[in-house]
Chain A
Amino acid sequence: MKLHTIHLNVNDEEQKVTVRSGDTLLYTIREQLGLTGAKPGCLNGDCGACTIQVDGWPMKSCLMMAVEAEGKQITTIEGLNNTPIQEAFVHHFAFQCGYCTPGFIMNGHSLIQKKPDADDSTIKEWLESNICRCTSYIEIEKAIKFALGKNKPSS
């Protein structure tokens, strides 16, 4: 058993954890830090349910080991509070069962921050990283566009 004691910056808090080399970041934030917003789905980088933010970019936390995340700024769905994208998801009822929602929101939140002027093709490209088995795609797209509009400085 290869153990590492590392410091992770999660939601602006410094956390000390002891992890195995092969522990995914998803496992660590859920089971060690109790942040269960990021969801285990495919565990293979396909579905996006475990998406979090690392240094401002979306990241599938099943595709990252905890040891790789040392020194990075990690944000999980628990780190968001009344952001435009959260309000937009509620406003447009952009979910059914809700399992994929944290992943979509984290991806959408990153999109708004990194590409505030995203056009339709950029929105589509980013959203293709996540899967919604309830097929709420239309509502999700509306929510993202609503949040993008809301995010733009008023002229």
Chain B
Amino acid sequence: MEDKGRESVMLPFGFDYYRPKSLEEAVTRFQQADQSLKEPMYFSGATEFLTLGRINQVYTEAAIDLKGLSEGKIIQFDQGYLVLGANLTLTEIEEANVFPLLTSTSKEIADHTARGKITLGGNICGQIFYREAVLPLLLADSQMVMVGPEGIKVKPIHEIFHERLLLQRGEYLIQVATESRYLDAPFISIKRRQQWETGYPLITIAALIMENKLRVAISGLCTFPFRSKEMEGALNNLEVSPQERIHNALASIPGPILHDVEGSSDYRLFVLENLLVDVCEALKFGERE
């Protein structure tokens, strides 16, 4: 009985634990562990590492904890950009509230206590495919700052995020930078769940208006979060009726619609249709002058 109890409250595999103090040390630790075939992995909040590791869906023999990196904890305005560290917890982002759309979206992830451990980078890079914290960054054309064997790289999110953040082996996300002009843009973020007020979404939608154009990013509809130029093109075609715009947008969904225990694909489509109506109404988008 004692052994069974012990197994239930610790991970079922042994691993080396490192907490590097510099960007370079983190990369070096990864490379060394990689050469030793230890299947190294980076984490920061470690919530997914614990919950998936507990059920053998994550495995490593070398865990590199990034939360000691001061570069990953900054909240700073610099040359017209807001720079957020990837190791900030969602609670820290909410408390600072420097990017209201990001606050609004991340406040719906998990629950309040868990958000004190989940990090921005961890949510974006996680295996669990909702990755809702990326939605505001997709809408705001953010820059992703990564560290790896080749040093520091800065790339536009649209180059490096396709369904997931396309990190090279040994790379990790350390910061995201967003132009200040996006921080005050009109926005809305809505999360619809099957039931209750915490937990995974049926669909989460974030929307923002920039230069009179509506931008939308969606999680929970497909097996990946996305922002679709085709969908936005349809929604911004003011030559046709609002109903037709939404109908055309629904025809441009970039992948198979999820059909699972949270909701059938037909139901998700129904929910999305209504969400798009709600978004346009809330942002007063497409209303005739």
**In the complex, chain B residues 106-125 whose Cβ is within 8 Å of any chain A Cβ:** 107, 110-114, 116-117
Q: Which of B6, B15, B117 contacts A2 (CB 8 A)?
A: B15
Q: Is A67 an interface residue (CB 8 A)?
A: yes
Q: Write the chain A residue with the least CB distance to B11.
A: A22
Contact B197 A128 (CB under 8 A): yes
Interface string of A20-39 (1 = CB under 8 A from B): 11111011001100000000
Query: How many B residues have CB within 8 A of the partner chain?
Result: 32
* Chain B residues within 8 Å of A20, by CB: 10, 14
B1-38 interface (Cβ within 8 A of A):
6, 8-17, 19
Residue A17 lies at the interface, judged by CB distance under 8 Å to chain B? no
Provide the residues of chain B in CB contact with A68, threshold 8 Å. Answer: 46, 65, 67
Are A21 and B114 CB-contacts (below 8 A) given A62-B9, A128-B197? no
Asked whether B53 is an interface residue with its Cβ less than 8 Å from the other chain, the reply is yes
CA distance A57 to B112 in the complex (A): 10
Whether A43 contacts B112 by the Cβ 8 Å rule is: no
Q: B113 to A48, Cβ gap below 8 A?
A: yes
The answer to whether the Cβ of B47 comes within 8 Å of any Cβ in the partner chain is: yes
A125, B112: Cβ atoms under 8 Å?
yes
B46 near A64: Cβ-Cβ < 8 Å: yes
- A59 contacts chain B at the CB level, 8 A cutoff: yes
- Interface presence of B168 (CB below 8 A): no
Chain A residues 1 to 60 lying within 8 A of chain B, measured CB to CB, are 1-2, 4, 20-24, 26-27, 30-31, 40, 43-45, 48, 51, 57-60
- The answer to whether A59 touches B54, judged by C-beta atoms less than 8 angstroms apart, is no
User: Of B17, B67, B107, B113, which is within 8 A of A129 by CB?
Assistant: B113
Cβ–Cβ contact B91 & A45, under 8 A: no
Tell me whether B6 and A58 are in contact (CB under 8 A).
no
Q: How far is the CA of A68 from the CA of B67 in the complex (A)?
A: 9
Q: Is there an interface contact between B14 and A65, defined as CB atoms closer than 8 Å?
A: no
- Chain A residues lying within 8 Å of B112, measured Cβ to Cβ, are 58, 125-126, 128-129
A75 touches B (CB below 8 Å): no
Bits for A67-82, please: 1 = Cβ < 8 Å to B, else 0. Answer: 1100000000000000
Q: Using a CB-CB cutoff of 8 Å, which residues 61-104 of chain A contact chain B?
A: 62-65, 67-68
Q: Mark B96-114, 1 if CB is under 8 A from A, else 0.
A: 0000000000010011111
The reply to whether A27 and B9 contact each other, CB–CB distance below 8 Å, is yes
In the complex the two chains form, what is the Cα distance from A2 to B13 in whole Å? 10
Known contacts A1-B14, A22-B13; 4 additional CB pairs below 8 A are: A2-B14, A23-B10, A45-B110, A68-B65
* 30 residue pairs bridging A and B, Cβ less than 8 Å apart: A20-B10, A21-B11, A21-B17, A21-B63, A22-B53, A24-B10, A27-B9, A31-B6, A40-B8, A43-B8, A43-B9, A45-B50, A45-B51, A45-B110, A45-B114, A58-B112, A60-B113, A60-B117, A62-B50, A63-B114, A64-B46, A65-B46, A126-B112, A126-B113, A128-B111, A128-B112, A128-B197, A128-B198, A129-B198, A130-B113
| 9 closest cross-chain pairs (CB), A and B | A22-B11, A129-B113, A27-B9, A129-B111, A21-B17, A58-B113, A23-B10, A22-B10, A129-B112
